[in-house]
A and B are shown apart, each in its own frame.
Chain A
């Protein structure tokens, strides 16, 4: 009976979303206060009913209700409690419910943190999100209801959660990624609301910015968590595989990164308005595309769900209507967004435009490489795959170019920056970066590689320009403390995020160029050298977990005759499914990771294994943390709150603001 309540709750949420998707938008159009005032309570209602649904699904997992087909397929009586709870997103139906619930959460947040925006605007935003969530819930009820029962004979025990998912990474990666992904729906809704109202002014950009920053920060963490999880769980020793399902979050992230920079220009200078709107639509499309690729089963990937084509068509339908509709609206309204090019060819606007072009081109090339196999198959009927070399050839040089601009952009001025000023500011920094870039790899790793040198020059360039920029911005202040205080929170956020990029660059490049790995067969007592380390297999023993049995090897690692650590890689067999699974052993360090993955045991007791030494790999995720922290910090800038009162005043005057004059007054 209780699972039926879950379905019922979904239906109620669907009904509310029909109201939310229509009344407030019509109300905003006809200036009907009562209908507009419905937006917030309706959004809250949808959140509550979806919350009830997802709680009931979790309850079904906890109570081992195997009459619910989704539970029977993804759980087992032996499954530890933390995985029973999180198995809610262990398959297509439940994870889509989580996705939808996340959207409801964002809607609730918009309802709460929008008190300073005009009601008309909030109604449109929530209305657009209402239409979106309506299509999601409809999709769920029509093709993938997580509460479907197995009648008449439910199984005695469940088929168990996929063993690869029984891991800490599974508990945190999907919710974080979804939250970041879905956050871009909010920014999209802001853009659509602005298009609907025809009022494309700086106020809209300012309202969107904190939401875009926060979504971007969460998405950054979500992607980094996925990369970290894949690194230690899948055990191929890499941190990014250009898998067709890794790519859409990256595409969304690249569009999102372009968007937060473009929003800055739109807010401060009132230009790039139509471009910013387009980016908001693109970032959102990227997130829908991710859903489509994962759930349609069209591409081969570790993430793909076993699925039937009707779902693919349904999502394709949503994709087509959402993207087509918004682009149509954009085409109708874009001519309204006129702006003068009030800036020079060497201005911060132009450097940010370069940033945008590079990011969009990178996103487009990743998109092309991801979807090309599908298109190729549709046209020629031949199956192909596009490997990592394609992505590396395109993506790496583009990023290098981008990193050059990271140094110049923040230092340049709006409207016009003289080239001689930039040269004066940056020539010493450039010389120092080149010196550091050549020396650092030699000192730290005592190795040389041209590619590593280039990337280290770029990383030094980013870090040194940040230092230079801060020092010249506070040079004229009374004291150092006063200088630091005079810089805004959003400035610090930006520089922190840029610093994070430098860390990530160092990690990615040193790991790629200086990692060593070796596949070996070791008998107990035998040892092998790799890099500066010596690995000895001490032996292996039998282990028993709650829902698995297996073997655990013990490996001691020495360096120059000193003990470094003990590693305990495992090989498990999950009892319910008989699925084998390898558990890597990793000794994580600030400067290097030691990593062992077990193969199989030979009849004579020897183990096959792969051993890796990966320098600086942690810096990749450390960099992501800095970037996310920077994004969040920037969203918390007090000017978003302080200026709201004035924005509200202005919005009430209701005129369609013409571009630059008013905008300059506002900033």
Chain B
């Protein structure tokens, strides 16, 4: 093999090794860090095991927000207007967190079926509904507009 060929081979091997290590690491990290997204209906139907890290998207049910007077704890219900999931969160809620507003929560279900949210996301733009929340509502066949037209809910 000619010297420059050997050098070129060396460089190609160097890059290939680097790349495969990187790809291996990346795939490993990816597989460890996928947060699957569920709708309140899927959660209510028991598709999620307790302790599994997931995301839930839905609307904050009107009248469901109860915040403690002596701590930062807050409880509310996330709903797709078909099924409800009780959510518990300890911390400050985002500015745009309001009843009747779309939110996404990150965390896991405890054994009592309450979702322990480590993070609550509400969007800064009210005209914008996150794809997760929209998907949840579409899947349940409900829409916030449709919901608002039904009196008494």
- The answer to whether A and B assemble together is yes
List the interface of chain A (C-beta within 8 A of B). Answer: 162, 164, 297-300, 302, 304-306, 340-341, 345, 350, 353-354, 357-358, 361, 364-365, 368-369, 372, 376, 382-387, 389-390, 393-394, 397-398, 519-521, 577, 579-582, 597, 599-600, 602-604, 608-610
CB-based nearest B residue for A369: B30
Q: Which residues of B contact A364 (CB under 8 A)?
A: 22
> Are the CB atoms of A393 and B33 closer together than 8 Å?
yes
**Docked complex Cα distance between A593 and B32 (Å):** 33
- How many B residues face the partner with a CB closer than 8 A? 45
Q: Which residues of B contact A581 (CB under 8 A)?
A: 95
Distance (whole angstroms) from the CB of B82 to the closest CB of chain A: 18
Interface residues in B89-124 (C-beta closer than 8 Å to A): 90-93, 95-96, 104, 106, 123-124
Known: A300-B132, A340-B4, A394-B26. A384 touches B34 (CB 8 A): yes
Q: Tally A-B pairs: CB < 8 A.
A: 123
> Are the CB atoms of A579 and B126 closer together than 8 Å?
yes
Known: A385-B55, A602-B69. A304 touches B128 (CB 8 A): yes
Known: A582-B95, A609-B92. A390 touches B37 (CB 8 A): no
Chain B 1-39, CB-CB to A under 8 Å as 1, else 0, gives 000100110110011001100100110011011111100
> Are the CB atoms of B91 and A519 closer together than 8 Å?
yes
Q: Which residues of A contact B15 (CB under 8 A)?
A: 353, 357
Q: Which residues of B contact A304 (CB under 8 A)?
A: 125, 128
> Are the CB atoms of B69 and A345 closer together than 8 Å?
no
Q: Which residues of B contact A341 (CB under 8 A)?
A: 4, 7-8, 11
Q: Which residues of A contact B46 (CB under 8 A)?
A: none
Q: Which residues of A contact B70 (CB under 8 A)?
A: 521
**Docked complex Cα distance between A300 and B125 (Å):** 12
Distance (whole angstroms) from the CB of B6 to the closest CB of chain A: 10
> Are the CB atoms of A386 and B34 closer together than 8 Å?
yes
Distance (whole angstroms) from the CB of B23 to the closest CB of chain A: 8
- Nearest 3 interchain pairs by C-beta: A383-B37, A390-B33, A599-B92
Distance (whole angstroms) from the CB of A523 to the closest CB of chain B: 10
* Contact for A521 among B22, B71, B131, CB less than 8 A: B71
Q: Which residues of A contact B43 (CB under 8 A)?
A: none
Q: Which residues of A contact B126 (CB under 8 A)?
A: 577, 579
CB-based nearest B residue for A304: B128
> Are the CB atoms of A599 and B93 closer together than 8 Å?
yes
Q: Which residues of B contact A385 (CB under 8 A)?
A: 34-35, 37, 55
Given A386-B33, A390-B33; 6 other pairs, CB 8 A cutoff = A162-B125, A345-B10, A368-B26, A599-B72, A600-B67, A602-B69
> Are the CB atoms of B91 and A579 closer together than 8 Å?
no
Known: A384-B35, A390-B32, A393-B29. A164 touches B124 (CB 8 A): yes
Distance (whole angstroms) from the CB of A123 to the closest CB of chain B: 36
Q: Which residues of A contact B127 (CB under 8 A)?
A: 306
Q: Which residues of A contact B104 (CB under 8 A)?
A: 300
Distance (whole angstroms) from the CB of A271 to the closest CB of chain B: 11
Interface residues in B33-62 (C-beta closer than 8 Å to A): 33-37, 55, 57
> Are the CB atoms of A306 and B33 closer together than 8 Å?
no
**Docked complex Cα distance between A368 and B55 (Å):** 20
* Contact for B11 among A298, A353, A608, CB less than 8 A: A353
B135 at the binding interface (Cβ < 8 Å): yes
Distance (whole angstroms) from the CB of B95 to the closest CB of chain A: 5
**Docked complex Cα distance between A581 and B126 (Å):** 13
